[in-house]
């Protein structure tokens, strides 16, 4: 099936640093979603993006829907220890996407850890 390329795979950060991760696709999407997964739990939605060019913030998190509709990025400013976890991007092509209508495609995740 279709895949999203999410990078980086993992990163170590110092508390207080800004963090950036992104997802790219060879196909266009109508929706981009960013989820965070804490250990032992299911993914939780952070930000949803519905229009090309849209820039949305949620506290220290900011995400953008790329103009080409083939990419999205997530920034975390002034990271804190509770930011550690796995971040997933997900994309949906909409009703006429060349796949099934119900198929939301996930990136492989970016694992965020804090440097000791």
Partner 1 sequence: EAQVTQNPRYLITVTGKKLTVTCSQNMNHEYMSWYRQDPGLGLRQIYYSMNVEVTDKGDVPEGYKVSRKEKRNFPLILESPSPNQTSLYFCASSFLFRGQSPLHFGNGTRLTVT
Residues that bind partner 1 (CB under 8 A): 1, 6, 30-31, 33, 35, 40-45, 48, 50, 88, 90, 92, 94-95, 100-104, 106-109
User: Percent helix, strand and coil across the chain, each rounded to 5?
Assistant: 5, 50, 50
Give least dist CB 36 to partner 1, A.
Answer: 11
Q: Which is closer to partner 1, CB of 14 or CB of 100? A: 100
Give least dist CB 63 to partner 1, A.
Answer: 13
Six-digit token string for 22: 């992104």
Contact by Cβ (8 Å): 49, 104: no
Q: Which is closer to partner 1, CB of 18 or CB of 99? A: 99
Give least dist CB 66 to partner 1, A.
Answer: 16
The alpha carbon torsion through 23, 24, 28, 32 (nearest 10 deg) reads 0
- Residue 65 has what DSSP assignment? E
């Amino acid at each position: 099936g279709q895949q999203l390329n999410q990078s980086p795979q993992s990163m170590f950060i110092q508390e207080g640093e800004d963090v950036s991760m992104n997802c790219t696709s060879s196909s266009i999407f109508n929706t981009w979603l960013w989820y965070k997964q804490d250990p032992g739990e299911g993914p939780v939605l952070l930000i949803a993006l519905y229009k090309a060019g849209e820039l949305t913030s949620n506290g220290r998190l900011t995400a953008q829907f790329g103009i080409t509709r083939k990419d999205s990025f997530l920034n975390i400013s002034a990271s804190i220890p509770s930011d550690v976890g796995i971040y997933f991007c997900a994309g949906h092509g909409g009703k006429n996407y060349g796949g099934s209508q119900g198929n939301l495609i996930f990136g492989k995740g970016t694992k965020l850890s804090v440097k000791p």
